[in-house]
Amino acid sequence: MSVATGLPPLAPDEAAHSARLEARIRDEIARGGGWISFARYMQLALYEPGLGYYSAGARKLGAAGDFITAPEVAPVFSRCVAVQCAEVLRELGGGDILELGAGSGVMAAALLEELARRDCLPQRYRILDVSADLRERQRATLEAAVPQLLDRLEWLDRLPEDFTGIVVANEVLDALPVERFVVRGGVVNALGVTSQLGRLEWSETRAPVALADAVRAIERDTGITWPEGYTSEVALGLADWLAALATSVQRGVLLFVDYGLPRREFYSVERSDGTLLCHFRHRFHDDPFTRLGLQDITAWVDFTAVAEAGQAAGLDVAGYSTQAHFLIGCGLGEFVADVTDLDVVSRVNVSRQAMVLTLPGEMGERFKAIALVKGYDSPLRGFAVRDLRHTL
């Protein structure tokens, strides 16, 4: 595995922040007998109150942050999602939107603007985000962008009960903590974290039953025989997370967009070092032990696992497609063509954004959209152009 080299240096206050989180993690490793699982490590690194990457004040999204997401780079992405939301809200005869992990709030703002234009506003636009820091940023974004709609906005601390409407989440699944495993001598080992000579590092031990069972189930399901040393990730917490969401939704649609693959491709022999990726100031690398609390740590999404977890929780899989096809189904072409009111620079920008969102070498195929539904059996236009459920 390569390590991060050539990353921008840290300012003294950043280094101090990182050191505080590292001390917190070292403490937990010591209390855990010298080892913690990678999922626990990821949980602490990203979400430890006041210290984790998402819980503390790092800039995170945007040009001045560490990574850029589709809503940040291309407002037309959110307008297309709004088209899908409008269809669902009309079909349900009303309802709310719940956005999970709303980042800087730009998608919420663009969604609400587009829905207002279509005269199809939700009763409430609710946001649930684990990051207190980002919640403040969302509030500021929305106060500036849609002051006339503030009375429809609501920030939640927990999932609502009896939700009717559409749940949207862009790039949230990839932020759920994952376990990392390695196949060694026919045995499944867990790759966890230890502290040696003042450094956090990988440490391998026999996998606990839940992880070993999950990995064996993937092997059985895919029929793939992995070579010695094959390493990858599995999101053991996904099923419970989705089950809680499924319980919260009484009637409606859950729409997730993220980078990922169907299981057979995710766990292909060629992808022998997994999908773990860290983002620090627009540099990508695979060392989760550097820039602690200052860099994002993510893993790709196994969309077959999302579909299975949804079904186990009583949801139906209503569609799965590439981001490109989903956006085209939601009218991306019409947004690009309908530029009569725009100046030349804005027209060029909309075309450029559409290309970034749809080209296979950009976000078009790496990112996928999946819809899970409960008590909802109408077709979803985002999946009308191309439905790839058979690949899951």
What character string, x for contact with ligand SAM (CB under 6 A) and - otherwise, covers 35-54? -------------------x
User: Among the candidate windows 114-122, 170-178, 301-309, 345-353, which touches ligand SAM by CB under 6 A?
Assistant: 170-178
Q: Which of 175, 234, 254, 313 is close enough to bind ligand SAM by CB under 6 A?
A: 175
The closest alpha carbon to 28, from 10, 11, 52, belongs to 52
Q: Which of 103, 122, 165, 288 is close enough to bind ligand SAM by CB under 6 A?
A: 103
CB of 300 to ligand SAM, least distance (A): 13
- Residues touching ligand SAM, count (CB under 6 A): 19
Task: Check: CB of residue 169 under 8 Å from CB of residue 108.
Answer: no
CB of 379 to ligand SAM, least distance (A): 25
Extract the tokens encoding 42: 């990821």
CB of 383 to ligand SAM, least distance (A): 20
Task: Check: CB of residue 291 under 8 Å from CB of residue 10.
Answer: yes
Residues in CB range of 86: below 8 A, 6 or more apart: 114, 115, 118, 120
Q: Does 130 bind ligand SAM (CB under 6 A)?
A: yes
Tell me the backbone φ, ψ of residue 22, rounded to 5 degrees: -65, -40
In angstroms, the CA 185 to CA 182 distance is 10
User: Among the candidate windows 126-134, 223-231, 309-317, 361-369, which touches ligand SAM by CB under 6 A?
Assistant: 126-134
Q: Name the packing angle between helices 132-145 and 106-117 (round to 10°).
A: 30
Task: Check: CB of residue 330 under 8 Å from CB of residue 84.
Answer: yes
Q: Does 172 bind ligand SAM (CB under 6 A)?
A: yes
Strand order in the sheet with 277-280: 283-285, 277-280, 296-298
Identify the bridge partners of residue 374 per DSSP, sorted by sequence position.
252
Residue the block writes with tokens 């430890």: 48
In angstroms, the CA 107 to CA 109 distance is 5
Of 350-389, binders to ligand SAM (CB under 6 A) are none
CB of 298 to ligand SAM, least distance (A): 7
CB of 273 to ligand SAM, least distance (A): 22
User: Among the candidate windows 67-75, 208-216, 316-324, 326-334, which touches ligand SAM by CB under 6 A?
Assistant: 67-75
Q: Which of 171, 179, 233, 302 is close enough to bind ligand SAM by CB under 6 A?
A: 171
Q: Which residues bind ligand SAM (CB under 6 A)?
A: 54, 61, 69, 71-72, 100-103, 107, 128-131, 134, 170-172, 175
